[in-house]
Amino acid sequence: MSIMPGAMLGLLGGGQLGRMFTMAAQSMGYRVTVVDPSDRSPSTGIADRHLRTDYLDSDTLRELASTCAGVTTEFENVPAESLRILAERCVVSPAANSVAVAQNRILEKNFLAANGFGVAPYAVIQNSQNSNNSHNLNGALSHKQPELFPGLFPGILKISRFGYDGKGQTRVNNSIELDRAFTGMKREPCVLEKQLPLESEVSVIVSRGFDGEVTTFPVSENQHRNGILDVSIIPARASPAIIQNAREIAIRIAEKLDYRGVLCVEFFVLANGRLLVNEIAPRPHNSGHYSIDACVTSQFEQQVRVLCGLPLGSTAMHGAAVMVNLLGDLWQKGEPKWEQVLRHPYVKLHLYGKLDARPGRKMGHYTVLAETVEAALQLALEIKQSLEQQLLEHRAPVN
């Protein structure tokens, strides 16, 4: 039975993805209760209700289950246990089991590899004993043991949990650097991954309903800077075979996980056109923000639709789009000059209402719409340059 407009929906996490989910849900007539321990997160100001507690708080979970028809999450590191408890009493999407795999790099890589999805060569690095396919670093490694990880150097050591935007990752060239980096990560479980020469990176947002209906959004080509998504170009400038392959792999991953919800699959594209799965995120994704302005249905409306058991919306795109992230660095000299963005009739500005503009923090984005990718990219980069120009200009001296 579908959950119809007017109902209250629950959301774990109050970040920008939650804000955009809340806006999509409210515009369709739903109400939203957000759980977030902070009182200043992007979605708490606009939600119909805010429960300001930890995600595992038992009163909160009871309250959510009794007042909400369905609960979802915007936040990769939501305790899977919360979703498991809620699922005993109300509709939950995505399920605890899927989230548990996606939020743990070791489980994620092992799941992908075990099911035949190509991933970068990797090894699990952990302190504890005997686990398959894992290497135990109990004492310090010496440079005499490079054979421990044949072919994985130069590599990237990635912490298994709670990493994002390139945080919790260190480049390592040999076993000594590996040991140092592992100690730097407090010897928490990690994955060592071979650093690959990437032709490009692409991602696919796939949505799968409770009835098994599946849609994919157009494939996005993603450019990162300092490990953080910088620019997304849609449709991706890749061959039709790569595009089709990316969509098919994303659907197969959603099916293998028995996933119900919106899932992002990030890929590496190698020079020979081969696709490797980088990681999966159990929620809408930064690389899908373009869908708000460029598609019939946004990734956030699709999240509402899955949760509420509605038929999925069309993911057809109106034209080409380029999305550019606005990081806190841009605020170094005060509020950016938004007229540089707003003066263009086919450019859409989104700001997340965050109060502190720290470097590397995602503050907003803009999406340029055009008939062709080339035209969208050109204008997107011109605007980007004009915003960054402001940082180079000297302030007029104050007497």
| Residues at the site binding ligand ADP, with contacts judged by CB under 6 A | 120, 156, 158, 163-166, 193-196, 198, 201, 224, 227, 266, 278-279
Would you say 120 or 190 has its CB closer to ligand ADP? 120
Would you say 177 or 201 has its CB closer to ligand ADP? 201
Would you say 38 or 226 has its CB closer to ligand ADP? 226
Would you say 30 or 267 has its CB closer to ligand ADP? 267
Would you say 199 or 329 has its CB closer to ligand ADP? 199
Would you say 268 or 366 has its CB closer to ligand ADP? 268
The CA distance from 218 to 238, in Å, is: 12
- For the chain, the C-alpha Rg in angstroms (whole number) is 22
Least distance in Å: CB of 133 to ligand ADP?
17
CA dihedral 313, 317, 318, 319 (to 10 degrees): 170
Would you say 16 or 297 has its CB closer to ligand ADP? 16
Least distance in Å: CB of 64 to ligand ADP?
27
Least distance in Å: CB of 197 to ligand ADP?
8
Would you say 144 or 186 has its CB closer to ligand ADP? 186
Least distance in Å: CB of 270 to ligand ADP?
10
Least distance in Å: CB of 223 to ligand ADP?
9
Would you say 64 or 152 has its CB closer to ligand ADP? 152
Least distance in Å: CB of 376 to ligand ADP?
21
Least distance in Å: CB of 167 to ligand ADP?
6
Cα-based distances in Å from 317 to 223, 234, 293, 304:
21, 9, 9, 19
Q: Write the secondary structure of the chain as one string of H (helix), E (strand) and C (coil).
A: CCCCCCCEEEEECCCHHHHHHHHHHHHCCCEEEEECCCCCCCCCCCCCEEECCCCCCHHHHHHHHHHCCEEEECCCCCCHHHHHHHHCCCEECCCHHHHHHHCCHHHHHHHHHHCCCCCCCEEEEECCCCCCCEEECCCCCCCCCHHHCCCCCCEEEEECCCCCCCCCEEEECCHHHHHHHHHHCCCCCEEEEECCCCCEEEEEEEEECCCCCEEECCCEEEEEECCEEEEEEECCCCCHHHHHHHHHHHHHHHHHCCCCEEEEEEEEECCCCCEEEEEEECCCCHHHCCHHHHECCCHHHHHHHHHCCCCCCCCCECCEEEEEEEEHHHHCCCCCCCHHHHCCCCEEEEECCCCCCCCCCEEEEEEEEECCHHHHHHHHHHHHHHHHHHHHCCCCCCC
Least distance in Å: CB of 397 to ligand ADP?
41
Least distance in Å: CB of 325 to ligand ADP?
13
